[in-house]
């Protein structure tokens, strides 16, 4: 369990993290997102004790990380694995030697070390690559080696800092599948830092969004993305904005349950209300724990009350979309 309360991290007078509060339970997969420079890597470094913090508390399994010194600190860090975008393998060492590095550091006996390396190679599905050098591997294979090395000491927590950002999307997906398997079979808590929202959606249960060092949004992934708060909309950027002519009414986001989504909601609504609706977007997104469907429709102002009534009667959840274009125009003035 990771408990963060009022955490602040400053570099001189620059506030890299300000008043962060988070609770992460053991064995779950958490997403940490935010623009470049929002403090994600800094937060990971606070969690694994590689950097200190000025204010607040950060406890891992009840232990205040900043209070650890010397051997205690090293043992604590042994319990936290980390993987990076650039893999960080040693080029002159082969795959087995790279994976064995942490065990060597902790002076494991040679036989135990070889056994563990075999196990790990099996786990990351590279059983016959032991003798290869990093330069002979593809990006995805390199990241598998880095994962094996990160898991060598049986960590309780695995931190992934943009671990799939340098990979092709389909390779990135296989790496995330591997991490999901590892999470399920070993019960390791995983924190995924990424700017790839598809990766996030497929792998995480809970998400924290940082903006300029502050926690700007948080929640479970399906509710966050089905009704994105302002900060998440800003991160998703223009591609997520709907192209609606706002003078002509309100844009509603319908959020049917999976059962409701199987039925022809829109055509029924149009027939029963005797009105036509423009569909601006409809999508079904796959998440780790199921799919979410949403429909964006444009509703003429004069029939808005009738539509809302109908949705209420049918027990279909909805929300009005904020008027992004108007807001941008205001900002521009």
Tell me which residues touch Mg ion (CB under 5 A): 41
Per CB under 6 A, the list member of 24, 38, 191, 218 interacting with ligand ADP is 38
11 binds, among Mg ion, ligand ADP, none (CB under 5 to 8 A by kind): ligand ADP
Residue closer to ligand ADP by CB (options 34, 256) is 34
Sheet harboring 29-33: ordered strands across?
A: 80-84, 157-161, 189-193, 29-33, 206-211, 214-220
Minimum CB distance to ligand ADP smaller for 8 or for 186:
8
Note whether 135 and 91 are within 8 A (CB).
yes
Q: Which residue's CB is nearer to Mg ion, number 100 or number 146?
A: 146
Tell me which of ligand ADP, Mg ion, none is bound by residue 42, counting a contact when its beta carbon lies within the kind-specific cut-off of 5 to 8 angstroms.
ligand ADP
Q: Which of 39, 140, 155, 228 binds ligand ADP (CB under 6 A)?
A: 39
Asked whether position 41 contacts ligand ADP by CB under 6 A, the answer is: yes
- What residue 141 binds from ligand ADP, Mg ion, none (CB within 5 to 8 A, per partner kind)? none
CB 213 within 8 A of CB 16: yes
Q: Please tell me whether residue 16 binds ligand ADP under the rule CB under 6 A.
A: yes
**Rule CB under 6 A: is residue 13 a binding residue for ligand ADP?**
no
Q: Does 217 bind ligand ADP (CB under 6 A)?
A: no
**H-helix or E-strand spanning residue 293:** strand 290-299
Q: Which of 6, 37, 258, 305 binds ligand ADP (CB under 6 A)?
A: 37
| 208 closest CA partner among 198, 197, 219, 200 | 219
Do strands 80-84 and 157-161 pair parallel, antiparallel, or not at all (unpaired)?
parallel
How many whole angstroms separate alpha carbon 99 and alpha carbon 80? 15
- What is the bridge-based pairing of β-strands 63-64 and 55-60? antiparallel
- Is position 47 an interface residue for ligand ADP (rule: CB under 6 A)? no
How far apart CA 125 and CA 116 sit, in angstroms, is: 14
How many residues interact with ligand ADP (rule CB under 6 A)? 11
- Whether the CB-CB separation of 129 and 147 falls below 8 Å is answered with no
Q: Which of 20, 40, 175, 218 binds ligand ADP (CB under 6 A)?
A: 40
Give whichever of 80 and 99 is closer to ligand ADP, judged by the CB atom. Answer: 80
Question: For residues 158 and 190, is the Cβ–Cβ distance under 8 A?
Answer: yes
Q: Binding segment for ligand ADP among 33-41, 82-90, 135-143, 287-295 (CB under 6 A)? A: 33-41
| Binding at 34: pick from ligand ADP, Mg ion, none (beta carbon under 5-8 Å per type) | ligand ADP
Residue (161 or 321) nearer to Mg ion, CB: 161
CB nearer to ligand ADP: give 42 or 141. Answer: 42
Whole-angstrom distance, CA of residue 299 vs CA of residue 246: 10
By C-beta, is 41 or 293 nearer to Mg ion? 41
Two tokens at 4?
Answer: 């963060």
Residue 189 touching ligand ADP (CB under 6 A): no
Q: Quickly list DSSP for 63-119.
A: EEGGG--HHHHHHHHHTEEEEETT----TTS-HHHHHHHHHHHTT--HHHHHHHHHH
34 binds ligand ADP (CB under 6 A): yes
- Is residue 291 within 8 A of residue 258, CB to CB? The reply is yes
**Which stretch, 10-18, 132-140, 200-208, 248-256, contacts ligand ADP (CB under 6 A)?**
10-18
b/e per residue 148-176 (b: at least 16 CB within 10 A): bbbbbbebbbbbbbbbbebbeeebbbbbb
Only segment of 30-38, 85-93, 148-156, 176-184 that touches ligand ADP (CB under 6 A): 30-38
> Which residues in this chain contact ligand ADP in the complex, by CB under 6 A?
11, 14, 16, 34, 36-42
């Amino acid at each position: 369990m990771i408990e963060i309360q009022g955490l602040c991290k400053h570099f001189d007078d620059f506030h890299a993290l300000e008043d962060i509060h988070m609770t992460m339970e053991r064995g779950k997969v958490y997403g940490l997102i935010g623009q470049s420079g929002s403090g994600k890597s800094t937060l990971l470094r606070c969690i694994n004790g590689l950097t200190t913090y000025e204010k607040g508390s950060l406890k891992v399994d009840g232990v205040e990380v900043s209070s650890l010194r010397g051997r205690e600190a090293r043992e604590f860090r042994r319990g936290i694995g980390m993987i990076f975008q650039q893999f960080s393998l040693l080029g002159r060492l082969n795959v087995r030697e790279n994976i064995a590095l942490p065990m060597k550091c902790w002076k494991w006996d040679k036989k135990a070390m070889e056994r563990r390396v075999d196990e790990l190679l099996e786990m990351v599905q590279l059983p016959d690559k032991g003798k290869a050098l990093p330069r002979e591997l593809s990006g995805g294979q390199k990241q598998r080696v880095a994962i094996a090395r990160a898991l060598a000491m049986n960590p309780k927590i695995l931190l992934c800092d943009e671990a799939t950002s340098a990979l092709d999307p389909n390779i990135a997906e296989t790496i995330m599948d591997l991490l999901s398997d590892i999470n399920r079979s070993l019960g390791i808590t995983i924190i995924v830092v990424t700017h790839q929202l598809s990766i996030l959606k497929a792998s995480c249960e809970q998400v924290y969004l940082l903006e300029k060092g502050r926690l700007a949004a948080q929640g479970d992934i399906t509710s966050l993305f089905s009704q994105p708060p302002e900060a998440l909309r800003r991160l998703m950027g223009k591609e997520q904005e709907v192209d609606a002519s706002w003078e002509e009414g309100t844009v509603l986001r319908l959020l049917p349950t999976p059962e409701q989504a199987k039925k022809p909601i829109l055509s029924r609504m149009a027939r029963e209300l005797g009105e036509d609706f423009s569909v601006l977007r409809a999508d079904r997104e796959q998440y780790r724990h199921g799919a979410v469907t949403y429909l964006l429709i444009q509703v003429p102002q004069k029939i808005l009350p009738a539509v809302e009534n109908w949705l209420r009667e049918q027990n279909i959840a909805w929300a009005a979309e904020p008027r992004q274009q108007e807001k941008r125009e205001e900002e521009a003035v």
